[in-house]
Amino acid sequence: MINIKTKEEVKVIREGGRILAEIVNQLKERVVPGIATEELNTLAEELISKNKVKPSFKNYKGFPKALCVSINEVIVHGIPSEYILKEGDIATLDLGVLHKGFHTDMAITVPVGSVSSDILRLIRETKKALKRGIKKIRPGNTIGDVENTIGRHIERSGFSIIEGLCGHGIGRSVHEEPQILNYGKRRSGPKIREGMVFCLEPMLSMGSKEIAPSGDGMGIKTADNSLSAQFEHTVAVTENGSIVVTEL
């Protein structure tokens, strides 16, 4: 069952989303060569405490940190560590916060210093896939319409769709119904209604669409170790369209 939020609940979610967006924006500025990913997690925890919200991911299904930092071939759920970011890496920061009983969730992929034009295009096309999916979120459309739009964009880009991972509903729980794939058929799946809140998160690979454990016990990487990127926003459905709540 897809949970429908009231207007008051959506207002709370928008408050939490803005706090989250501000935190992630500050974290992004610290993604530079020479910083350890654990330092990024420490900063995330400090900013979460300062803003009087709680981390959504810490201790969720055993995840030990507040922030996911996924490097290069790691797609999602990378655990911050003593790894030092170096020139040419790409880092995906994924963070969720709990504000007044409701979660919001967002992710960005950031180049570390100078990277190749191919990597910049991977990041750019992933971000575009998210934006196009968001445009399809409005009452009367279906989840399949959103999935199809994301999938068609990724196919045109020449990159691979990571098929084993998906977006989701969000609210009082970090993960709620429905699952939202990054490919699908038009006019399929549940109809979108006012009060629904979703996390869209297209994930693209420069190589294989297959996934494998990354080795830290939590992370998931591309099976062929090709580079990957992810962008995610929390989106609330309104009467006439949608609002990206994790956008400044």
Q: Is there a domain that residue 1 lies in? A: no
* pLDDT score, position 138: 97
Q: Is there a domain that residue 59 lies in? A: yes
Q: Which residues of the chain have pLDDT under 50?
A: none
* pLDDT score, position 175: 98
- Structural domain containing residue 215: 7-244
Q: Is there a domain that residue 170 lies in? A: yes
Tell me the average pLDDT of the chain. 98
Give Cα separations from 217 to 43, 78, 175, 210, 231 (angstroms): 23, 9, 20, 18, 22
Measure the CA angle with vertex 119, ends 114 and 120; round to 5°: 75
CATH of the domain at 134: 3.90.230.10
* pLDDT score, position 213: 98
In angstroms, rounded to a whole number, what is the distance separating the alpha carbons of residues 145 and 185? 7
The two structure tokens encoding residue 69:
């930092």
Q: Is there a domain that residue 209 lies in? A: yes
Q: Which pTM does this prediction carry?
A: 0.97
Q: Is there a domain that residue 36 lies in? A: yes
In angstroms, rounded to a whole number, what is the distance separating the alpha carbons of residues 233 and 247? 8
Measure the CA angle with vertex 143, ends 174 and 200; round to 5°: 45
Strand partners, 99: 102
* pLDDT score, position 217: 95
Q: Which residue has the tokens 């429905």?
A: 178
Largest CA distance in the chain: 48
Is the Cα torsion angle 134, 53, 168, 31 positive or negative in sign? positive
* pLDDT score, position 39: 98
In angstroms, rounded to a whole number, what is the distance separating the alpha carbons of residues 206 and 99? 36
Number of domains in the chain: 1
Q: What is the pLDDT of residues 105-150, one digit of tens each?
A: 999 999 999 999 999 999 999 999 999 999 999 999 999 999 999 9
Q: Is there a domain that residue 2 lies in? A: no
In angstroms, rounded to a whole number, what is the distance separating the alpha carbons of residues 99 and 165? 26
DSSP state for residue 32 in the 8-state scheme: -
User: Do 232 and 106 meet the contact criterion of CB atoms below 8 Å apart?
Assistant: yes
